[in-house]
């Protein structure tokens, strides 16, 4: 699975983030055990063409944000 698709799934405000946050433990630096994520996070899989389109857009957005940060730092 491509990182962009996983990023959208994990960050979804209703179906991602709340489910992920409830798995976090630790008082100073919260962490999530990978096996808990695998077992308790119901990742919806779509047709690969749809997942790839989502991933393309998310990954492109990440690049554009990074570029914008660099330009802003130079200003």
3-state secondary structure the chain: CCHHHHHHHHHCCCCCHHHHHCCCECCCCCECCHHHHHHHCCCCCCCHHHHHHHHHHHHHHHHHHHHHHHHHHHC
- The pLDDT value recorded for residue 27 is 87
| Maximum Cα–Cα distance across the chain | 46
pTM for the full predicted model:
0.77
pLDDT in tens, 9-29: 999 999 899 999 999 999 899
Residues lower than pLDDT 70 in the chain: none
What separation, in Å, do the N-terminal and C-terminal C-alpha atoms of the chain show? Answer: 37
């Amino acid at each position: 699975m491509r990182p962009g698709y996983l990023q959208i799934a994990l960050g979804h405000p209703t179906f991602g983030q709340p489910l992920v946050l409830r798995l976090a433990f630790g008082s100073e630096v919260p962490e999530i055990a990978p096996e808990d994520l695998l077992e308790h996070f119901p990742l919806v899989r779509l047709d690969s063409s749809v997942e790839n389109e989502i991933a393309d857009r998310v990954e492109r957005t990440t690049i554009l944000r990074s570029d914008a940060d660099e330009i802003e730092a130079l200003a």
